[in-house]
Amino acid sequence: MVGRLPSAAGPADLLVEASDGEPSERHLFRVRTTIGGGVDARRLTTDSGWHTAAVGGDTVAVGVASLDHAGVRWTVRRGDQELAELRSFAATPPYSPLPLLERVTDRRLPAAVLYPDNHVTGRRLPVLLDIYGGPGHQEVVAARAAWLERQWWADAGFAVVTIDNRGTPGVAPSFEKAIHRRMADVILTDQIDALSALAAKHPDLDLGRVGVRGWSFGGWLAGLAVLRHPELFRCGIAGAPVTDWTLYDTAYTERYLGLPEDGMDVYAHHSLVELAAEPVTGPDQARPLLLVHGLADDNVVAAHTLRLSAALLGSGRPHAVLPLGGATHLAANGTAERLLPLELDFLRTHLG
């Protein structure tokens, strides 16, 4: 819910941001609730894209991002009257990405493929699975800003793939709840199945050269992918990964995994540290990982990466650790951007 809108018919109505059948888009709805009368929802936005709003009294600021234009376009409304359009002074981005948005597998998972700007059909490309996958956040959205950095990766010579697995919002409550106490199995299965389905539709995706990168929950998922499925993922970049869920301080851990005392086996099953400590049984079982972590991270503390590194070292698995002195969880002030060339060198080295 964004806020409340005045109503002449009684209590204030609710202004709600929600999807309407297509999870890559978000729209605004005016919801009227009456005692004994149920709920009446009316969609207010008609143009495609990702809508947001802010409410103050009877005035509403509506923003919309889309794949057709850069940035967010804001208009100010009072009732049905448009008062003004807010001018943006933001710089024009150097890219105009056009991701191919699809729904794949029998679960209709939201997914996207982004090619280099100069891609020629028939030229096979290494695949970069740019991953998050965690609760409360969507990546496959119809907003250009979500794809600007990914276009940089694509233009560096990759087919960039992004997938919203079960557990992410925008589809249905049942879609989000499916990961309860089995996050690792459901989420990673969805990512792999969707990647295979996309490759069947896009023959230029070379599944013999797949790398994966992610941050935070996505860092955990990137590490999980490389450790559980080295036959598919040839290398991975795990930024600020949650490697031991008993160390994590965010409440959704217990929401999805339960209390530790009620299921330490569940926590162990989701632990990268436990997985990394398993013996390597063959050369293809040891795929390289690049671990990146801010030493001032107070969300996913650096002990996560240190414990994972120790386990990887103990089992003889190749990896490198890049500590970021003074950096917090967000790797702000240009740190994240300065990491990109280092990540690119790592991927090129291991994917060819």
DSSP string, 186-248: HHHHHHHHHHHHHHHH-TTEEEEEEEEEEETHHHHHHHHHHHH-TTTEEEEEEES----GGG-
Q: Give residue 158's pLDDT.
A: 98
Q: Give residue 252's pLDDT.
A: 85
Catalytic residue among 297, 309, 319, 350: 297
Q: Give residue 251's pLDDT.
A: 84
Of 3-12, 36-45, 225-234, the one with minimum mean pLDDT is 3-12
- Select the more confidently predicted residue: 252 or 311: 311
Task: Say yes or no to pLDDT of 333 above 70.
Answer: yes
Smallest CA-to-CA distance from 287 within 296, 276, 297, 295 is with 276
Mean pLDDT of the chain: 94
Q: How far apart are CA 133 and CA 109, in angstroms?
A: 11
The secondary structure of residue 166, as a DSSP letter, is B
Instruction: Assess whether 329 carries a catalytic annotation.
Output: yes
Task: Say yes or no to pLDDT of 224 above 80.
Answer: yes
Question: What average pLDDT does the segment 211-226 reach?
Answer: 98
Percent of the residues in the chain that have a pLDDT greater than 90, as a whole number: 86
Smallest CA-to-CA distance from 191 within 144, 236, 239 is with 236
Neighbours of 24 (CB within 10 A): 25
pLDDT digits over 79-97, tens only? 778 999 999 999 999 999 9
Question: What average pLDDT does the segment 111-137 reach?
Answer: 97
Instruction: Assess whether 297 carries a catalytic annotation.
Output: yes
Q: Give residue 41's pLDDT.
A: 86
pLDDT digits over 95-107, tens only? 999 999 999 999 9
Q: Give residue 83's pLDDT.
A: 94
Task: Say yes or no to pLDDT of 10 above 70.
Answer: no
Catalytic residue among 19, 66, 216, 271: 216
Q: Give residue 38's pLDDT.
A: 65
Question: Residue written as tokens 């919203």?
Answer: 164
Percent of the residues in the chain that have a pLDDT greater than 70, as a whole number: 97
Task: Say yes or no to pLDDT of 250 above 90.
Answer: no
